[in-house]
């Protein structure tokens, strides 16, 4: 039986904010983490995405900070992306509604002037991306010496994005006496390393097997030969606008994302779809996510830059138009649906060259994803020559990764042609260099 929030040692202001937000019972990570955080322990939390881990550390943190004090931050929450930093800030503000605690969120991609002014006006809880925190610390705008809490959220993504150096620099400038909380959806060698540097005798909290997708998400897969057939299948599925009422389509590259966006816009109108990726400006990305959250748009097309930064309830479907190359990203992508106690569907399209990554994903999640046949109504296109070549090259590269001595089908074909050409040249040369035989003279 899940615990009610009333059973935790939280004050009435926080409990009222939790009730206003519509939360009644704690999720497993909240149930396991809130009491140890309240008692001052360092925490190492392994939790699948969408389990409510932000509230698991924010609620006890608010309880311990109690009220606004001084001008310098007393809690620092580090997040890998601006989208996630903003999402955390929203949660903190939601739960701190009935307190006077001040929250500021800082990230790169925009000028620091406004952020500096907000910090100067006084802050209790600072949410930051590592790069922007260091920039403002080095410019003298952040005084870290009063920090009591340091939280590292999505530590695995931090490591994937190469933030380990920045984290070590931040650890050098924050007070030694502090409470540390580290959360990660997956466990890797780098996460282990940073945990060893960061945590002192931590309490390990694990609410699911590592890299296990939420049990509330139904996963299926279609083996689709090429890009055009993927588009045809996507259009076919989206005809059911009752079932597919709010969905995120994930792609590997900005080019593919833009292509899908153009196609969906022509099909369903520009009021139904938005696209977000690294080339989109900060305001555009924020507005697109907000429109999606508010239900103003049905379809959000995104690259993995957004796979952890979207906390939207009632996402009916996640569609992996491409199989992700970073296998852990699969868990984060599909975690955008079936959040907390809700259910959702994840659908993956996989071509011949993507089966290599699919095998790695199934090994990681220790599950076999259900295969479905392409529906009869979907027209299966011929794979164009260029795409065929590209897929063959990809498969060659994958085989070469597994076996460095593998030369590849392309290499073999090329060699065969080169050998054949050389033989022809030799034959020609030989024919050209044959000694001229003088005609025999017959004596008369």
pLDDT tens string, the chain, 444 residues long: the values are 568 888 888 999 999 998 887 777 888 888 899 999 999 999 998 876 667 788 999 999 999 999 999 999 999 999 988 888 988 998 899 999 999 999 999 998 888 999 999 999 999 999 999 999 999 999 999 999 999 999 999 888 888 788 888 998 999 999 989 999 998 877 777 787 888 888 888 888 887 555 556 677 899 999 999 999 999 999 999 999 888 988 999 998 889 999 999 999 998 888 889 998 877 776 777 788 888 888 889 999 988 765 555 667 678 899 999 998 877 778 878 887 876 566 789 999 999 999 999 998 898 888 899 999 999 999 999 999 999 999 999 898 888 877 766 666 555 455 555 656 666 676 666 566 544 444 455 444
DSSP codes, 209-264: STTPPPTTEEEEEEE--SHHHHHHHHHHHTT-TTTSSSEEEE-SSHHHHHHHHHHH
Tell me the domains of the chain and their CATH numbers: 5-206 (3.40.50.300), 217-385+396-400 (3.40.50.300)
| C-alpha closest to that of 94 among 19, 179, 12 | 19
CA dist 274 to 118, 249, 269, 437, 439, Å?
30, 10, 10, 80, 85
pLDDT at residue 343, as a whole number: 78
Please give the Cα distance from 275 to 282 (Å, whole number): 12
Across 147-159, b (16+ Cβ under 10 Å) vs e yields: bbbbbbbbbbbbb
CA 261 – CA 267 distance, rounded (Å): 10
**Nearest one of 283, 259, 262 to 273, comparing CA atoms:** 262
Q: Please state whether beta strands 179-184 and 149-152 pair in parallel, antiparallel, or not at all (unpaired).
A: parallel
C-beta of residue 179 within 8 angstroms of C-beta of residue 40:
yes
Of 183, 193, 197, nearest to 152 by C-alpha is 183
Q: What angle do CA 236, 247, 241 make, to 5 degrees?
A: 45
Please give the distance of CA 305 from its chain centroid, rounded to a whole number.
6
* pLDDT value of position 366: 84
Q: What is the pLDDT of residue 438?
A: 47
Phi, psi of 93 (to 5 degrees): -65, -35
Closest Cα partner for 230 from 238, 218, 241, 242? 238
Which tokens in the block code for residue 77?
């929450």
Helices 113-120 + 130-138 axis angle, to 10: 70
The C-alpha atoms of residue 171 and residue 165 are separated, in whole angstroms, by 10
User: Is the distance from CB of 84 to CB of 47 less than 8 angstroms?
Assistant: no
| pLDDT at residue 321, as a whole number | 96
Q: What is the pLDDT of residue 79?
A: 93
DSSP structural state of residue 337: S
Are 318 and 336 spatial neighbours (Cβ–Cβ below 8 Å)? yes
């Amino acid at each position: 039986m899940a615990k009610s929030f009333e059973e935790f040692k939280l004050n009435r202001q926080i409990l009222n904010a939790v009730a206003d937000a519509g939360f009644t019972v704690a999720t497993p990570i909240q149930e396991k983490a809130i009491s140890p955080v309240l008692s001052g322990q360092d925490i190492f939390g392994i939790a699948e995405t969408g389990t409510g881990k932000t509230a698991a550390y924010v609620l006890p943190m608010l309880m311990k900070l109690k009220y606004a004090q001084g001008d310098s931050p007393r809690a620092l929450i580090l997040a890998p992306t601006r989208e996630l930093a903003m999402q955390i800030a929203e949660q903190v503000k939601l739960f701190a509604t009935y307190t006077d605690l001040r929250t500021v969120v800082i990230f790169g991609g925009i000028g620091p002037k406004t952020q500096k002014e907000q910090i100067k006006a006084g802050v209790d809880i600072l949410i930051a991306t590592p790069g922007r925190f260091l920039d403002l610390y080095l410019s003298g705008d952040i005084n870290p010496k009063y920090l009591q809490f340091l939280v590292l959220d999505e530590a695995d993504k931090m490591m994937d994005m190469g933030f380990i150096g920045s984290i070590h620099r931040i650890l050098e400038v924050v007070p030694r006496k502090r409470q540390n909380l580290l959360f990660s959806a997956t466990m890797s060698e780098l996460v282990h390393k940073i945990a060893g540097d960061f945590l002192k005798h931590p309490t390990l909290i694990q609410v699911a097997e590592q890299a296990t997708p939420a049990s509330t998400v139904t996963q299926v897969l279609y083996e689709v030969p090429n890009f055009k057939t993927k588009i045809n299948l996507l259009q076919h599925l989206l005809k059911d606008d009752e079932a597919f009422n709010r969905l995120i389509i994930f792609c590997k590259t900005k080019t593919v994302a833009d292509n899908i966006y153009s196609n969906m816009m022509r099909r369903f109108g520009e009021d139904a779809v938005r696209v977000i990726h690294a080339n989109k400006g900060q305001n555009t990305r924020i507005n697109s996510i907000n429109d999606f959250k508010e239900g103003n748009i049905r379809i959000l097309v995104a690259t993995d830059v957004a796979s952890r930064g979207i906390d939207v309830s009632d996402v009916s479907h996640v569609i992996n138009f491409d199989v992700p190359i970073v296998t852990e990203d699969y868990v984060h992508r599909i975690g955008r649906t079936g959040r907390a106690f809700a259910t959702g569907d994840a659908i993956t399209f996989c071509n011949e060259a993507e089966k290599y990554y699919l095998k790695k994903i199934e090994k990681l999640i220790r599950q076999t994803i259900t295969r479905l046949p392409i529906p009869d109504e979907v027209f299966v296109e011929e794979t164009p020559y260029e795409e065929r070549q590209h897929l063959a090259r990809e498969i060659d590269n994958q085989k070469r990764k597994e076996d460095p001595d593998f030369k590849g089908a392309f290499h073999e074909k090329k060699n065969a042609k080169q050998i054949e050409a050389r033989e022809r040249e030799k034959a020609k040369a030989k024919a050209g260099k044959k000694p001229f035989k003088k005609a025999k003279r017959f004596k008369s």
